[in-house]
Amino acid sequence: MTEVIRKTLRDSKTARWTALAVVAFTMLCGYYLADVMAPLKPLLESQKGWSSTEYGFFTSAYGWFNVFLLMLILGGIILDKMGVRFTGLMAASIMVVGTAVKYWAISTTSLEGVTLFGWKAQVMIAALGYATFGVGVEIAGITVSKIIVKWFKGKEMALAMGLEMATARMGTALALSTSAPIAQAMHNVSVPILICLIMLCIGLISFFLYTFMDKKLDASIAADNAGREAEPEEEFKLSDIKFIFTNKGWWYIAILCVLFYSAVFPFLKYASDLMVNKFGVKESLAGLIPSLLPFGTMILTPTFGNLYDRKGKGATIMILGAVLLIFVHAMFAIPVFNNYIFAIFLIIVLGIGFSLVPSAMWPSVPKIIPEKQLGTAYAMIFWVQNWGLMGVPALIGWVLDRWCVVKAGSKLADGTIIPPSYNYTIPMLIFMSLGVLALGFAFLLKAEDRKKGYGLELPNIKS
């Protein structure tokens, strides 16, 4: 008797790649806002009178609610309970609200001279808006990860995750390369944030359109299962959190994630200022060199993801990425290497390393954690990651003001503020140390894979 071959909507290449494109655009808008302030640090110092400590405090706010209020873990549980449609729309809406608060704080003049909890009110309220946005963008990230697993499991999953990350990195690249020129052209540091707010509203509409595709996918899966005697999939339970927390492989990925990302994303927050202070690049052009990193990852992350899909070697890819991370930050720490051409070279190498690790790390999680627990597993990895994204920027800002000031800032008679200049050697050594620790955990993950047989070194595409 001939078996009837049933297909779902995800078996259509057009459908699954269209779904990916729609949700990836929403993440592009989120990543634009996440990094839009990085090239503006000198302008915040000159126009708003911020210090490096205040900038570091503001940047660290990204993880406040996610870490201390456990919003990411709550978001993961909501994702596994309520599904991707509800959670995605919720996350995109939170991003819009947080960005609106941040824009108001930076653009208004009513907060001048006011303090709040011992900080400038402008800094504090902008930080609260950024913290709110951080909840939305992180929950959106885990939602999109689960969406990709839903559409691409057993297919081009690592390639799809790589392309989604590449699209999101386009937002980072645009933020780093355009925010300072826009702010200087408009003579207003808040204009790039307004552009972000408009983009996020469009991203919210984009995800709303995706929900209709997701409904059709669920309907096709239900039709495919009709008449089969398959056992119903067990639903997520809160007790499943214990399974995740006691999984050693999950912990290795989570710690590798926080160490690796803490050596890259906080670095990007200060990279434009590094170009000004060490390499003598003009403020209006300083963001262009760091923007080469995300531009490079747009090509390389999908390439390495495709390699992982077809050839495997996921744990080995992560080890190589950590080695490149250590090399780059070590070279940035050496004072005599101060030519901007060398900086361009190092950023390109860092882009290769930054492409290697995520391209293998995120597709490896479904090999360790069952699909019903994926939302919570991703959420808890992002929660661990947010400790680093919160703490490291604040640490770097404090270190700069405490030990790295080469020339103090000054105020001219016309009221113009000349920001201080810094020596970035110590911060770069901190970033290098995080890379060394990441390398150690990458080796531990590879050893655990050999022991448990997760298949991290095996291809994702099943014949």
Q: How far is residue 137 from each of residues 31, 117, 169, 191, 251, measured CA to CA in Å?
A: 8, 26, 13, 21, 23
What gap in Å lies between CA 192 and CA 93, rounded to an integer?
Answer: 20
Residue where the block lists tokens 């700069």 = 400
The DSSP result for 7-18, as a single string, is: --GGG-HHHHHH
pLDDT at 226: 65
Decide if 249 contacts 445 (C-beta within 8 A). yes
The pLDDT mean for the chain works out to 88
User: 36-77: per-residue pLDDT in tens?
Assistant: 998 999 889 888 889 999 999 999 999 999 999 999 889 988
Q: What are 275's two structure tokens?
A: 């170009």
Cα(155)–Cα(173) distance, rounded to whole angstroms?
Answer: 29
Tokens of 414: 């016309």
Band (pLDDT 50/70/90 cuts) for residue 159 is: confident
273 vs 220, higher pLDDT? 273
How deeply is 395 buried, as exposed, middle or buried, from its count of CB atoms within 10 A (0-12, 13-18, 19+)? middle
**For residue 297, is pLDDT > 80?**
no
Percent pLDDT > 70 in the chain is 94
8 within 8 A of 222, measured Cβ to Cβ = no
The pair of three-digit structure tokens given for residue 119, joined into one six-digit string: 């900080």
262: its two tokens: 């803490």
CB atoms within 10 A of CB 290: 29
Give the contacts of 437 (CB within 8 A, at least 6 positions apart): 259
pLDDT of residue 5: 43
Specify the pLDDT at position 99: 97
Span 76-97, pLDDT tens digits: 889 988 999 999 999 999 999 9
What's the CATH fold of domain 13-221+237-452?
Growth Hormone; Chain: A; (1.20.1250)
Supply the pLDDT for residue 4. 40
pTM of the model: 0.82
Higher pLDDT among residues 2 and 307, named by residue: 307
Give yes or no for a contact between 301 and 24, defined as CB atoms under 8 angstroms apart. no
Residue 458 φ/ψ region, left for φ over 0, alpha for ψ in the -120 to 50 degree band, beta for the rest: beta
Please state the domain extents for the chain: 13-221+237-452
Confirm if 328 and 350 have CB atoms less than 8 A apart. Answer: yes
Beta bridge partners of 417: 411
Instruction: Tell me what pLDDT residue 166 has.
Output: 84
pLDDT in tens, 442-463: 999 999 999 999 989 988 776 5
For the segment 202-213, what is each residue's pLDDT rounded down to a tens digit?
Answer: 999 999 999 999
Q: Which of 356, 301, 375, 420 is nearest to 91 (CA)?
A: 375
221 vs 371: CA distance, rounded Å:
15
Cα–Cα distance, 291 to 285 (Å, whole number): 10
pLDDT, tens digit, 9 for 90 and up, residues 177-224:
999 999 999 989 999 999 999 999 999 999 999 999 999 988 887 877
* 236 vs 419, higher pLDDT: 419
pLDDT at residue 414, rounded to an integer: 67
159: number of Cβ within 10 Å: 26
Is the pLDDT at 416 greater than 80, yes or no?
A: no
Q: Residue 2 carries which DSSP code?
A: P
Q: Are 193 and 36 in contact (CB under 8 A)?
A: yes
Tokens representing 341 are: 């051409």
- 226 vs 285, residue with greater confidence: 285
For the chain, give me the number of helices (H) and strands (E)?
17, 6
